[in-house]
A and B are shown apart, each in its own frame.
Chain A
Amino acid sequence: MGEKVIGAASPATTVSIKGIRDGLLLTVRGAASWEEAAVAVLNRIDQTADFFRGARVALDVGDLEPEAEALAGLRQVLAERRVTLWTVLGTDAITTAAQAAGLNVAIPATSPDAPKTDEDVEFIHEEVGEAALLVSHTLRSGRSVRYAGHVVVMGDVNPGAEIVATGNIVVWGRLRGVAHAGADGEERAVVCALDLQPTQLRIAGKIATAPGPAGQPQPEIARVRDDRIVAERWSGTRAR
């Protein structure tokens, strides 16, 4: 054929998502061309549009070298999906193009695959488990936490605040705002809180609301069972 097919990405192209301090980092690998990488990114974002809506995204395209115009175009398309592309990582040539397209180049362009901090490495290697984002204060109305991974809040999540996580959400406090666990489509994700009274609870594609004011607050865990979200009293045994 020899012609570029717009709208299809080769199966070899992978897009991985990682939560970083400034938003989400999308790493594209295995794309033969910039166009292919861009299509793969868009497909990935469209799969879970809810999760990405309102997100700040950094893009790592490895050694591909898009033109400034192409970058500006992608930023425009992402903006229509309410996703902010704020930086692109890669070789010097890309950095120059990104600057020309008015994008930020603040993240150091050295080996973005490497974990950001030493603690990451030690934590994962010392204990079987996964890293999580720890929020050690109450989330008040208007605050939004979006994270590709698990989120732990030490404090309350007030009405009007929201947490969107691809993993589990644990609230050591009262959950009264909106929580979306498994935002990436993971139905095994759970939401737990000392007092589970969310405005709305979502796990993957399922939505539930709190049944109304409960009597005595008690720790509960919500998960998907038989295709709907159920909340159960925390029994102190295994979460799964």
Chain B
Amino acid sequence: MAGKVITITSGKGGVGKTTTTANIAVALAQTGAKVVCIDADIGLRNLDVVMGLENRIVYDIVDIVEGRARVRQAMIKDKRLPEMYLIPAAQTRDKAAVSPADMIKLAEELRQDMDYILVDSPAGIERGFRNAVAPADQVLIVTNPEVSAVRDADRIVGLIEAEGKGPGHLIINRVKMEMVKRGDMLSQEDVLDILAIPLIGVVPEDEGILVSSNRGAPAALDDKNRAGQAYRDIARRLLGQDVPFMALEEKSGFLQRLGALFGAR
């Protein structure tokens, strides 16, 4: 079966596209799938850093497109997992170095022997975004529970629908449950109320994510990390499994849990 191309995008920057891409890739690869990530953020590459593969870059995506390297040569193998690879972005070029047609061609080649091709889109709605979405079979839209990120996600959903790539699936990232409870943060329902697209993941805010990104070891590698667990759940949903959404309650004490059991508030 030919591999599936999944593009991760958001419109707004800083909502966690790259972290999400790295973690879903790790979680998919942990199941034994063959996964390759493409960093489509040419000129502002990050995915290599988050995945901890920066020091192994020899060739990049522009080298492939311009014929200086074969696809296999530019694929960096992640040694922590059986079959995970990265095609890094070029840092010294810009979005115009690659066209949507180049991306489709590259994806077609990768489909032959990979199960999943994850494309990390740059922020914005311009060339880089169009490059990233062009080859997509499925689009994951990452947003944060804040008004501006949701507004941008709404724009992205509209553009994806116009491209005929379905409404996409939503990942709500960096949810702080205690803030939602205080009414200081949009709830999952508020976000879905505006966007009205299927939800595929809710990821709690987790300081561990920042630490793991800086260390180049995606949180999904850590069995105990809650955000990592949320990403593993997303991966399983992508594989077609029916995984219930985890309760994002703060860790509660024994007495509170006992109280909840008896319906006390």
Spell out A's residues near B (CB within 8 Å).
138, 140-143, 156, 158-160, 176
Shortest Cβ distance from residue A158 to the other chain B in the assembled complex, whole angstroms: 5
The 5 closest A-B pairs by CB, nearest first: A140-B158, A141-B154, A142-B155, A141-B155, A140-B154
B194 touches A159 (CB 8 A): yes
**Cβ distance B81 to chain A, nearest Cβ, rounded Å:** 37
Which applies to chain B's interface (DSSP): helix, strand, loop or mixed?
A: helix
Q: Mark B156-199, 1 if CB is under 8 A from A, else 0.
A: 01110100000000000000000000000000000000101000
Q: Is the CB of A141 within 8 A of B151?
A: yes
- Contacting A159 at CB < 8 Å: which of B154, B157, B158, B196? B154
A-B CB contact pairs (8 Å), 14 listed: A140-B155, A140-B158, A141-B151, A141-B152, A141-B155, A141-B158, A142-B155, A156-B196, A158-B154, A158-B194, A159-B154, A159-B194, A160-B151, A160-B155
Query: Nearest chain B CB to A137's CB is how many angstroms away?
Result: 8
Q: Which residues of A contact B152 (CB under 8 A)?
A: 141
Residues of A within 8 A of B194 (CB): 158-159, 176
Question: Which chain B residues have a beta carbon within 8 Å of chain A's beta carbons?
Answer: 151-152, 154-155, 157-159, 161, 194, 196
B151 near A143: Cβ-Cβ < 8 Å: no
How many Å lie between the Cα of A156 and that of B152 in the bound state?
16
B-side contacts of A141, CB under 8 Å:
151-152, 154-155, 158
Q: How far is B197's CA from A156's CA once the two chains are assembled, in angstroms? A: 13
A145 vs chain B, min Cβ distance (A): 13
Instruction: Give the Cβ gap from A61 to chain B, nearest Cβ, in Å.
Output: 34
Known contacts A142-B154, A143-B158, A159-B154; 6 further A-B pairs (Cβ under 8 A): A140-B157, A141-B151, A158-B194, A159-B151, A160-B154, A176-B194
Would you give the shortest CB distance from B12 to chain A, in whole angstroms? 11
Chain B residue with Cβ nearest A140: B158
A contact residues around B157 at 8 Å (CB) = 140
State A158–B155 Cα separation when bound (angstroms).
Answer: 10
CB closest chain-B residue, reference A156: B196
* Beta-carbon nearest neighbor of B147 in chain A: A159
Residues of A within 8 A of B161 (CB): 140
Report the minimum CB–CB distance from A210 to chain B (whole Å).
15
Contacting residues, chain A, for B155 (C-beta < 8 A): 140-142, 160
Query: Contacts of A143 on B, CB cut-off 8 Å?
Result: 158
A142 / chain B contacts, CB cutoff of 8 Å: 154-155, 158-159
Q: How far is the CA of A160 from the CA of B194 in the complex (A)?
A: 11
